[in-house]
Structure 1
Amino acid sequence: MMKMSKRLHPLYIAIAFIEHIKNNILPFVFVFIVNRHLLFTYWWATLLAGGVVALFAFFTWKEFRYEVTETEVRLYKGILKKEKRFIQRNRIQSIQLDQPFVFRILRLARLRIDTASSGTDAEIDLSGISLKEAHHLKDTLKLSGSQPEIREKSPERTMKVSVKQLALAAAFSGNFGYIFAALGFLYQYIDTYINRWVKTAYEEVIHQSMLGLFVLVAVIVVLAYLLSIVLYVIRFGGFTVERYDHYLHIKYGLLNKKSLTIPFHKIQAVTIEEGLVRRLFGWSSVSLNVVTSDLKEKVYLHPFIQQKEISALMNVYVPHYEYIKCPRNTAIQYAWYPLLLPLLLFAAAGIGISFWKSMFVWIIAMLCLAYVLIHWLGYRQGGLMMNDVFVSIRSQFLTRKTTIIRRKKIEEIEVFAGTFLWKKGYRKIKIATMGTSGSYKSGYFPFEIWHPIFLQATSSKKA
């Protein structure tokens, strides 16, 4: 039975107004920089532009409607250009509910519904829906493809990651993105509030010694490192995984709350990542490859877990998968082959810099040596294997990644090599699935390893 068409919450008008202003503010900024008096002289034009944007936001809200039937989700939108979109419920791959900080204050949410054809944009994006309605829709849609009469009231198993574990995950992540974000925050704070004091302190330190400068830099780096841990904990705080009969429910976030509902049969692959620092202490992270338009977010099953506990974790929370240790079986004697082009580039850079500052040639040489060493150590960790149900592929540069894929989830398998290695029968292999990070490659592998796997995987796809 068809449900009545519904609109987003009326507060969406204000959200859309702010969004339109944000997306079209550059011309006003340009005028303000070039001749700010124009904005004050023609203030009425600024008000008129704001009124047009407000009117556009109102009609965007008015013309946006959605409805859910027993088999479809229907979307109607558009002012000048009308659009109708009907999505079969059994095609839904994942449902994500986000609550940015402002939305939490207003009791609103953003519900994104992704299908196999979703790219960078969700197939259906309901931004500015009431929180109550968002939960109702998610509960209605998350059992699509399963037995509708079964309504699971409480999860079968629940796993919570403590603040201590998240802090350790951040401390051992080796993720410089958070450190750079923290450095940016510190720079803004210093530049805004304590710039004069820092300038005075800096001048005094420089007058004292280079040791003092080193200490100052070290203090800033340590502060950035500690702040990066805080940012990580804020981002993933309250990390909880709930397992139901047919799906997983993952939620996290202290300021911006996120929750993702994933049917078991929609999980494309499971990846175990061992960072450079983490693997020294036996720690890993486990993530899921699912179809989601949120390309910035990795879907973690567990952000920080002992390697010996991964098998038990997967048995409980992703029972359709099993942990398979991948052997190291790349062709070690050809580890040098992928280095030819990088070595040529390093050599060209060294020759070019030698005409300018010969002392920098040593820096290029050290970078080249480090790259060769990292590549060689990573290449020899590569591996590939397949059994009746799964394919396991492993690669490493700095982070070692082992991905386990159900054979029926493989969308494409490709082998490739340069002319020299092609004639000798060695191949790199690339396996693709649906999802945000659905491409995995490793190699080179000898003929007796890659060829049987390639044949069996392609024949099972045809079958």
Structure 2
Amino acid sequence: MFEAKRLHPAAILFNLIKTVREFLFAIIIGFITFRDDSLLYFVLITSGFLIIFIAASILTWYRYSYRIEDDELRIEYGVFIRKKRYISKNRIQSIDLTSGVIHRIFGLTKVQIETAGTGTSAEASLSAVTLAEGEALREELKTGGTKQTYDENTTDEPAEQTKPSTTISFKRLFIAGTTSGSVGVIFALAAAGFSELEQFIPDSFYDNTLEWAIGLGIVILIVMGIVALLLLWLLGIAGTMIKYGNFTITKSDDELFITRGLLEKKQLTIPLKRIQAVGIQENIIRQPLGHVTVFAEIAGGSMDKGEDFSSILFPIMKRDEVEVFLETFLPDYAGIQHELTPLPKRARKFYIFRTSILFLALTVASGFLIPQFIWIPLVLLAGSIVLGIMRHRDGGFYRNGEQLTIRHRSFSRNTIMMYHKRIQAFEKKQHKLQVQQQLATMRLSIIGRMGTGTHFAIKDLEESHTDELADWYSYRD
């Protein structure tokens, strides 16, 4: 790979799409502003800019080259100002391959290279290379070998057989979709989209539709609402299955490889040394069914990876399968789950107060202003009290040598397992009421995305327990 290479010509299309997306907001504003008398001028100006964008995309592709030389990935780019970027193999932390719909049509992939110092974006990103070339680059940059040749038919069967691997079944994937709780997210996105499109709907059409809906009656409107929620639920199932379809995790030496996605296929690399903590998440729907999601908090990375930092190690499994999974893929974290030390009973009133105070105020206000609808905040108040009780009941910790397990709940119950060496900061906080009740809040910090902190807090611990953990963190026990 000493000879400089260009990206696949399809990179021109990706460059053009990226440029148009950056100017999309301005294009929409221009269309809204000039859609009446000056629409022709708007079309002519937009066409001129489009020609410029196409020319710039072609020049950007032509002036971009890469090669591997002297244990470095060397990239040269820039149309008017030439830039050179040298990335040593020793600095590379992970190499991810992503194939969107257009990539898969042409048999291509996108290569993203992360280093220890990666910031808001990947250290290097090759937007379009052949899949065989992308896999060869990954192997070359990982192993450092320069004498072995690769092609798309290269296999190493004995090595593959020794690598533990597991794949999610269709049944489990369907359960993950039905219990994901993504209906609320999709509803919020749909509402936001409608609010943006509302300005393009003629007032007469909008008014007539509203009058027609009111005339249907309350029963029919309720039925239509249920049907809409059902459709959103089905969309949530489809979204989960598309995102995590063909999910496979494989362990190889000191790395985990995750492949997932039906439309956009992603191949993620997670170095074991960058895992700061391992978590088990149980949302309110899955917890009674005994299903959990296993994830890891990863140090470093870029904003390009989005939710992958925290990375989902497995979308859904039975709780009693977690230990076997950890023994196979993360043996350092196996066997560190134990019965936790619970929160003191006198802390329950603080949890209930924090979750219910807002709805209590709404209930009082409704009683004075709109008493006929007071049942709505009363229902919400009852739910908030139950949530407060659940948060108190689920909170706790367990310490064993260098290992610490903590558990807390927002809406989902999260169990976090970590080691002493991964904890970057420990904080104890108390307000006046906590001092009187001999309680304290513990806050732990580990390295998270982009080198910033990821924080975990357990409120209203026994003060003596918080002090013991503080001594353990400071090596004074």
Tell me the TM-score normalized by structure 1. 0.83
Query: Does the Cα contact within 8 Å between 1:416 and 1:422 map onto a contact in 2?
Result: no
Displacement of 1:130: 2.8
Displacement of 1:286: 0.9
Report the equivalent of 1:245.
253
Query: Does the Cα contact within 8 Å between 1:110 and 1:127 map onto a contact in 2?
Result: yes
The separation in 2 between residues aligned to 1:226 and 1:418, in whole angstroms, is: 46
Displacement of 1:167: 0.2
Matched, 1:296 2:307: yes
Distance 1:176 1:204, change over 3 A: closer
Matches within 5 A, 1:194-205: none
Once the two structures are superposed, what CA deviation does each residue of 1:193-230 show, in whole Å capped at 9, x if it has no partner?
xxx9xx99x969965x6444433333333333233222
Q: 1:409 aligns with which of 422, 446, 459?
A: 422
Displacement of 1:404: 0.9
Report the equivalent of 2:240.
232
Query: Does the Cα contact within 8 Å between 2:404 and 2:419 map onto a contact in 1?
Result: yes
Letter paired with 1:154? E
The separation in 1 between residues aligned to 2:392 and 2:82, in whole angstroms, is: 52
Q: 1:388 aligns with which of 391, 401, 404?
A: 401
Query: Does the Cα contact within 8 Å between 2:108 and 2:131 map onto a contact in 1?
Result: yes
Letter paired with 1:316? T
Q: 1:162 aligns with which of 144, 166, 169?
A: 169
Report the equivalent of 1:176.
183
Displacement of 1:382: 0.9
Secondary structure of residue in 2 paired with 1:336: helix
Matched, 1:266 2:254: no
Matches within 5 A, 1:315-326: 315-323=327-335, 324-326=337-339
The separation in 2 between residues aligned to 1:45 and 1:203, in whole angstroms, is: 42
Distance 1:33 1:441, change over 3 A: same
Query: Does the Cα contact within 8 Å between 1:97 and 1:110 map onto a contact in 2?
Result: yes
The separation in 1 between residues aligned to 2:409 and 2:258, in whole angstroms, is: 27
Moved more, 223-232 or 172-181: 172-181
Query: Does the Cα contact within 8 Å between 1:429 and 1:441 map onto a contact in 2?
Result: yes
Percent of residue pairs identical = 26
Matched, 1:25 2:24: yes
Displacement of 1:75: 4.3
Letter paired with 1:20? T
Distance 1:69 1:458, change over 3 A: farther
The separation in 2 between residues aligned to 1:91 and 1:299, in whole angstroms, is: 21
Displacement of 1:423: 6.7
The separation in 1 between residues aligned to 2:283 and 2:51, in whole angstroms, is: 52
Letter paired with 1:325? H
The separation in 2 between residues aligned to 1:219 and 1:19, in whole angstroms, is: 37
Report the equivalent of 2:113.
113
- Listed as ranges, the gaps of 5+ residues in structure 2 are 149-155, 199-204
The separation in 2 between residues aligned to 1:40 and 1:5, in whole angstroms, is: 45
- Listed as ranges, the gaps of 5+ residues in structure 1 are none
Distance 1:28 1:178, change over 3 A: closer
Q: 1:221 aligns with which of 211, 222, 229?
A: 229
The separation in 1 between residues aligned to 2:113 and 2:440, in whole angstroms, is: 38
Secondary structure of residue in 2 paired with 1:224: helix
Matches within 5 A, 1:41-190: 41=41, 45-69=45-69, 71-79=71-79, 84-143=84-143, 153-154=159-160, 156-177=163-184, 180=187
Report the equivalent of 2:152.
none
Q: How many residues align?
A: 445
Displacement of 1:354: 5.4
The separation in 2 between residues aligned to 1:360 and 1:353, in whole angstroms, is: 7
Displacement of 1:315: 0.3
Query: Does the Cα contact within 8 Å between 1:234 and 1:255 map onto a contact in 2?
Result: yes
Matched, 1:334 2:347: yes
CA-atom RMSD, angstroms? 3.6
Displacement of 1:85: 4.5
Matches within 5 A, 1:277-316: 277-291=285-299, 292-293=301-302, 294-297=305-308, 299-316=311-328
Matches within 5 A, 1:362-381: 362-381=375-394
The separation in 2 between residues aligned to 1:17 and 1:269, in whole angstroms, is: 40
Distance 1:249 1:263, change over 3 A: same
Query: Does the Cα contact within 8 Å between 2:244 and 2:315 map onto a contact in 1?
Result: no
Distance 1:406 1:204, change over 3 A: closer
The separation in 1 between residues aligned to 2:402 and 2:282, in whole angstroms, is: 24
Letter paired with 2:332? H
Secondary structure of residue in 2 paired with 1:398: coil
Tell me the TM-score normalized by structure 2. 0.80
